[in-house]
Structure 1
Amino acid sequence: MGIEISRLRRQFGSFIALDDVSLDIADGEFVAVLGPSGSGKTSLLRILAGLDQPDLGSVQRDGQDLLALDARRRGVGLVFQHYALFPHMTVAQNVAFGLRVRPWRLRPKASAIKASVEALLHRVELDAFASRYPAQLSGGQRQRVALARALAIEPRLLLLDEPFGALDAQVRVNLRRWLREFHRSLGITTLFVTHDQDEALEMADRVVVMNRGRIEQIGTPEQIYHQPATAFVSRFIARGQPLPGEVAGSSLHVLGHAWQLDGFSSTDIHTVAVHVRPEHIVPATRHGEGLAACLLSLRHVAGTVRAGLQVEGMDEPLEAEWSERDWSRHSVGVGEPIDVHFQSLSVFGMDREGRVRARTDCHPPYSASPIAIGPWRRLGA
């Protein structure tokens, strides 16, 4: 049955940390809660861990009221961003801590605790570090000790609060791959809180995107990235960049060009948000096709080219992202004019309260070129 979170609300003074949050988590599922600072993700984790109580709502686990249990009886393992290891204890003592502080009737024998600690250190690949102290470990090793300590109590729910936030980039990449495989081997229901899109999309079975205390979208990483349900998800996950646009009948008008809209109802639509992703802005093959722009900047990053563009008719610059191979076909320098096309646009229609009532992606006709498209229909043409 898993965990059923229903209509949670948590308010601190005038600030609403959680606003009618509902979420079901299946047994053994790895769920990432993703959002910017202040979105409510840590408040949700604290409530599940028993460190805070909601003002309204319920949390059921296999039909049992989880909120009625104190933190020690919930069977929850919690891993913090900054490890929270005891500096005066060895690695083995840190891992054993949760077992040693149990009431004596529930406390395993010393031999059983020792065997459990040895097994966990072997699982997290730290067998040789049992007698070391946290200060003698690297950041990645300390994080694995924190994970082993959380697992020592055999939790039914594992909560990870920005666990890689204090680590450098390469260690984070290695650890999240390791943690994903580790989770698959254990099958423990896991809730992973992060503000890092790459971590959430790479590791999770499902992603929950939060903003201002509310859930914007729940879906698989593929759904979240390729089919963002709201303009916020489009900006936050897919790096959607706003464009000036309006809908007239079955056409979308953007920067003097008309796009055909299919399956988009304008009923109850008050405003329209139009986004383009960096990878959907491509250079034109011939001068005079598409939109006139100026190349503001060019950065080469890990096999890609990131370009800053000032498109005619826009106040804010746009960022485009191309492969090195595609960009090598062009000979435009910084400060020079360039013509670009939009391969795809995401359109969100919202009512007066800002709720999304319709969304669609629209695409112009493609030409034979793999990185360029045919011209749009110009308005009035």
Structure 2
Amino acid sequence: MTDYLVAALVLLGVLVLGAVGLMVPRLRRPPRPPARPAPPVEEPQRPTGVIVAEPPPARAPDVVTPEVAAPEVVVPEVIEPEVLERPEVVLPPVIERPEPTAGRLVRLRARLSRSQNVFGKGLLGLLSRDHLDEDAWEEIEDSLITADVGVEATREIVDRLRERTRVLGTRTASGLRALLAEELVSALSPELDRSLRTTGATGNPAVILVVGVNGAGKTTTCGKIARVLVADGRSVLLGAADTFRAAAADQLATWGGRVGAEVVRGPEGADPASVAFDAVRRGIDVGVDTVLVDTAGRLQNKIGLMDELGKVKRVVEKHGPVDETLLVLDATTGQNGLEQARVFTEVVDVTGVVLTKLDGTAKGGIVIAVQRKLGIPVKLVGLGEGPDDLAPFDPVQFVDALLGVEPLGTDA
């Protein structure tokens, strides 16, 4: 009994201590401060005389009605009928009719006016002096040299003119003009054959090689020669053997198309001899009168030029002989052009000279110098940029154009 009483007391003591432990922390916490009242909201005072807009009254929310999607309208695809392409209409090229060559040099007399001013009028002015002393003859000699006649030819002309003037006693302007014209014509060797061989001797086409340095107007002159031949009633085929200039074949094709002449060409950089051979063979097949071959004009070194032109000539001659080899010279280069010309004469057998750009120089005496130094006749002269400004050369008409037809004054 005593044991049960002790156990009950111990249990009661434990319960009392636990209750006290739970109450002590709560008693130690500080009391919460009372809640502060919110400060009153003061309405802002409106300044006197200022009207403040009242806020708009609240609107009721809009009622959004759901959109009803319209039914999709299916548009049927319109299939256009197939349009057949019309074939391109190719118009035939317009074939030009070159003007006849007869009388071109006379008709183009005005183109020599620049040459006439220095070469002709200057000399005639000196010869028209009342007294021709040594100083006057020296001035005449200087004028001829300045006009690119050449030193040797000038001395011969002046010596003969002085002798004839002394013997004949000529003092009139017209008489001196006649004497000067005769001496200039004589210096141009009028006895030389200046005709172009444009028909082959064996029934095959005549073959004409056109040679010259680049820049002298070689390809353009080749096209103009074709017009000269067509104007004289010859049928022509062109061979574009200058394969080192991309524009040369195109340029020649343009010239040929104007007169209806066929052009044989090869790819850029092709063998010039091969193109020339094909051109002559084509000319034989179609039966033309003349095959005109434009050759390359590079002058990097003499040996290369000799090999190239020599090969072209040898290959072409497998069909037959070369009838003409025309050398194109630029008249504006003067005496310097003669050095280039000499190279070509050593390479191929040049039979005639085509002197271009004669209207662009005041030194018409270059014609005399070319024939004197090369021993080759000038057969054609270029007097302008027009397609028909290439004329057969005639010494008498040329000298008459140089000296002009204007009156030189009254006879003394």
Q: TM-score, normalised by structure 2?
A: 0.27
Which of the two has higher C-alpha Rg? 2
Pick the structure with more strand per residue: 1
Asked which structure has the greater RCO (Cα within 8 Å, sep 6+), the reply is: 2
